[in-house]
Chain A
């Protein structure tokens, strides 16, 4: 099992460009979570998805941010018109459908730098 795979690991974007971060959950996992870690701050929940369904997006900024988890392919976190304040580490996590042990597994993160 390859674990939760995120790409790219590092992404540099100019202000106003779009950033797309991808997350492939562990095999057999149908729940995906996105978290953001700002410099010098802790993890903040952004969104929780199941395939083709957003369960909880209470942590997503109201504008410019969107997430999807299609029936086929990875989950994508999309940030439009990036600003310097979007520079952060974005972590994806997944958990199995049976929620055994309530454990979630994290990817290695994607570091976004906006210049």
Chain B
């Protein structure tokens, strides 16, 4: 099982669309999450695929065919600048999260 976030750093201008990529490999039915970490703060849950909700304008759709769970926002804001982690739950007997390495999003004015 693995979670891959191919971009270590993503830089966009304010108002531009943003997409943070996440691909996974998992043999069962995964449960996927996006967490956000603002500068030196705690990690916060942003989205989980089972809830299919939009938080702070962000959405993410699970694409089982492409094994992806990309995070999207149509118009980036400066306050979106943060570290974003994609994670997958190991629904076996220990339920630990498997993390991507994270993507640092910088939204420039």
Contact = CB atoms under 8 A, between A and B. Distances in A.
A42 B99 contact: yes
A14 interface: no
Given A102-B89, A106-B42, A43 B48 contact: no
A99 B48 CA distance: 14
Contacts of A95: 95
Q: Provide the main secondary structure of the chain A interface.
A: strand
Nearest to B89: A102
A104 B98 CA distance: 12
B95 A43 contact: no
Interface residues of A, number: 25
Interface centre among A55, A91, A106 (most CB of B within 10 A): A106
A102 B31 contact: yes
A102 B47 CA distance: 12
Nearest to B92: A56
A108 B42 contact: yes
Interface residues of B, number: 24
B96 A108 contact: no
Contacts of B102: 42-43
A65 interface: no
B63 interface: no
B76 to A, nearest CB: 22
Interface string B58-94: 0000000000000000000000000001000101001
A109 B42 CA distance: 6
B10 interface: no
Given A108-B42, A109-B40, 16 more contacts: A42-B85, A42-B100, A42-B101, A44-B99, A45-B96, A45-B98, A48-B94, A56-B96, A99-B95, A101-B48, A101-B51, A102-B31, A102-B91, A106-B43, A107-B42, A109-B42
